[in-house]
Structure formats: structure tokens, C-alpha cells
């Protein structure tokens, strides 16, 4: 397992982290707690030491499972969690006071500490961000007070959908330790401005959605169906399944010695960039863990492969209605 420094915190985290949205069960239908716990334990056995969760994942269910897992492990496992916006608006909308009033942040931190069964949160992130909020520093002062009391070690933000430029001013300020951003073969936009700035300011990057919610694994076809309450019915609504299928088919021509599967192709693309500290594919089973973590020990892509993958950049936003 390879480990990289994440921002100025001094943590060295596994390049493959555990994306724990799916084990919250609320929007990803099909996760089973027993298998989720086995997956968490298997990931630690294989050297993974970074987990990303959120209070909003299943109303704390993901955090509680992780807390149960943590008390059974002796290794140093770094856990990042997130404060949900009080107005429950994803992506960010409204004023800072509507989304992250100070008492709401404090209350959420106490809930997360209790769920995770820890005395300190390694990395606390705001789950959404609006660039207009940078003009007000109440949220930052609140997080700094939580750091001073020892309840939070590092702070960061999770970037809205496909809006990496929305945090440029914040990253440049030096206020935060990390940013979490969508980055994959289709959405390469963070490379334009955000990643160079993060390298300059020593802000860690957590790359999320490496598989584009499953599209880049090759598992989505025009005939794919999802359980009734699974949120992917929205993401892949109308003709979107055919759109991604048509985009993924050409990627199969790149498979071979450098990447044997589409999932490996997707993860290794994310890891090629030096700004990326860790990539957090969603994992709900031991099979997910073993296949994803195997990529961490593979040789990096050649320049030729990166150049070929750059031609597959695709601007879209499936988080909005079609």
C-alpha cells in the first residue's frame, strides 16, 4: 500500500481510502451491515488507513458502523467526517447562517464524536460550500474553537458537484487543510486551477466519485436497472445510461498491461496527479475492497496512457435533473 501526505496535517494516508456513503444504506440500496463491517476490517487488514464518512450518511448510520469497527482495531485509522448543512441543501444554497450556523456545527460535531466513539475527529469537513460564504468567517472561527478544545484536528470542505473553482479563494486563504472534490476520467476540471493551487498551498486533495457513480466501472448499460429507492435512478435518469455506456465503450480499448479493468483504469487515473492525497471509491463489500486496494500497489501510468485518457474529458452534471 502506498501512503501520501494529506495537506499540512502531517498525516500519511493510504492512497486508496474507504468511501463510506454506501454503507449508510439510506440512498444506496443493498448494503448489509454485516458485510459492510467485514469490508471495513478487510480494508484495514490490507493497509487502508483512511475512511471518509458523514453525519448525513444514513442519519449517522455510516458513522456508527465505523465507530463499531474502530473499537475493534489497534491500527491508527484516520477518519474524516462532514457536517451536513442545516437547510439540507445539496448543492449549497442559501446564506451561511441558513446552512452552517455556529450552534449547528457544534451539535453535529458532538453527534459525530458519539457515533464514531472517538474523542477527536481527525478531519472535519463542511459537506457543501458556496464561494459567497468566504466573506463571512463565523464557520471558520467555530471550527478553530473546536480545534482548540481538542475535538477536531483538521478542517476542510467538500466541493459542490462539478465546481472546483468555487473553493479557489478559500484554498488560497490558508484556512483549510483539505478539499474533497469530484475527479475522474470524465471530470478532469480540478486539474485546471484547483490542483496547482493545492500543491502550492499544501492543501490535501481527497478525490471522490472516481467511478462516476458506477459508470466508469463498465457496469452501466442502457438496460441497467436499480432498486426502487436507490438514488442512482435519478443520476442515470432518461437516456443517461446510454450516454455513459457510449462513452465507456471506447475506454475498453485502453485496457491491457497498464490496467486490466475499467475500475483500475479509473483509480490509477486519479492517483497519477501529485496533488491527490487519496481517492475514496465507495465500498460496500469485501470484493470491492480487495479489487480496489489491489490498484494501490500497481505501477503508475505511462505519460502516453495519461495523454490518451485526457481525450475522454466530458463536461456534464448528472446531479441536476435532465
DSSP 320: S
Cα 206 from Cα 164, distance rounded (Å): 12
pLDDT of residue 31: 84
pLDDT of residue 29: 78
* 26 pLDDT above the threshold of 80: no
Mean pLDDT of the chain: 96
Which residues partner with 18 through β-bridges? 51
Domains and CATH numbers, the chain: 3-310 (3.20.20.100)
pLDDT tens column, 150-186: 999 999 999 999 999 999 999 999 999 999 999 999 9
pLDDT tens column, 85-102: 999 988 888 999 999 999
Cα 108 from Cα 87, distance rounded (Å): 13
pTM higher than the cut 0.95: yes
Going through 3-140 in order, the beta strands assigned E by DSSP cover 3-5, 12-14, 18-19, 50-52, 78-83, 121-126
The mean pLDDT value for 270-275 works out to 97
pLDDT tens column, 74-87: 999 999 999 999 99
pLDDT tens column, 194-230: 999 999 999 999 999 999 999 999 999 999 999 988 9
* 253 pLDDT above the threshold of 90: yes
pLDDT tens column, 39-69: 999 999 999 999 999 999 999 999 999 999 9
Cα 59 from Cα 285, distance rounded (Å): 21
Amino acid at each position: 500500500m502506498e501512503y501520501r501526505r494529506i495537506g499540512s496535517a502531517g498525516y500519511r494516508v493510504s492512497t486508496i481510502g474507504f468511501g463510506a456513503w454506501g454503507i449508510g444504506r439510506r440512498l444506496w440500496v443493498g448494503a448489509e451491515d454485516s458485510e459492510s463491517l467485514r469490508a471495513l476490517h478487510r480494508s484495514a487488514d490490507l493497509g487502508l488507513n483512511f475512511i471518509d464518512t458523514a453525519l448525513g450518511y444514513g442519519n449517522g448510520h455510516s458513522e456508527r458502523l465505523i465507530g463499531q469497527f474502530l473499537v475493534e482495531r489497534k491500527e491508527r485509522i484516520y477518519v474524516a467526517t462532514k457536517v451536513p448543512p442545516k437547510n439540507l441543501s445539496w448543492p449549497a444554497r442559501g446564506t451561511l447562517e441558513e446552512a452552517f450556523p455556529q450552534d449547528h456545527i457544534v451539535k453535529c460535531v458532538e453527534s459525530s464524536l458519539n457515533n464514531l466513539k472517538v474523542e477527536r475527529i481527525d478531519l472535519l469537513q463542511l459537506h457543501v460550500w458556496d464561494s459567497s460564504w468566504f466573506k463571512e468567517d463565523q464557520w471558520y472561527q467555530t471550527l478553530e474553537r473546536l480545534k482548540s478544545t481538542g475535538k477536531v484536528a483538521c478542517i476542510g470542505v467538500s466541493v459542490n458537484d462539478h465546481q472546483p473553482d468555487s473553493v479557489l479563494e478559500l484554498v488560497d486563504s490558508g484556512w483549510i487543510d483539505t478539499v474533497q472534490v469530484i475527479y475522474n476520467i470524465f471530470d478532469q476540471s480540478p486539474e485546471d486551477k484547483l490542483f496547482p493551487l493545492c500543491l502550492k498551498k499544501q492543501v490535501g486533495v481527497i478525490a471522490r466519485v472516481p467511478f462516476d457513480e458506477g459508470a466508469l466501472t463498465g457496469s452501466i448499460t442502457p438496460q441497467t436497472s436499480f432498486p426502487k429507492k436507490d438514488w442512482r435512478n435519478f443520476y442515470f435518469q432518461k437516456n443517461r445510461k446510454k450516454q455513459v455506456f457510449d462513452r465507456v465503450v471506447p475506454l475498453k480499448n485502453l485496457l491491457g498491461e497498464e490496467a486490466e479493468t475499467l475500475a483500475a483504469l479509473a483509480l490509477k487515473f486519479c492517483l497519477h496527479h501529485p496533488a491527490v492525497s487519496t481517492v475514496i471509491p465507495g465500498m460496500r463489500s469485501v470484493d470491492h475492497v480487495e479489487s480496489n486496494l489491489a490498484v494501490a500497489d500497481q505501477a503508475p501510468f505511462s505519460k502516453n496512457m495519461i495523454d490518451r485518457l485526457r481525450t475522454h474529458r466530458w463536461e456534464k452534471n448528472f446531479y441536476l435533473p435532465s
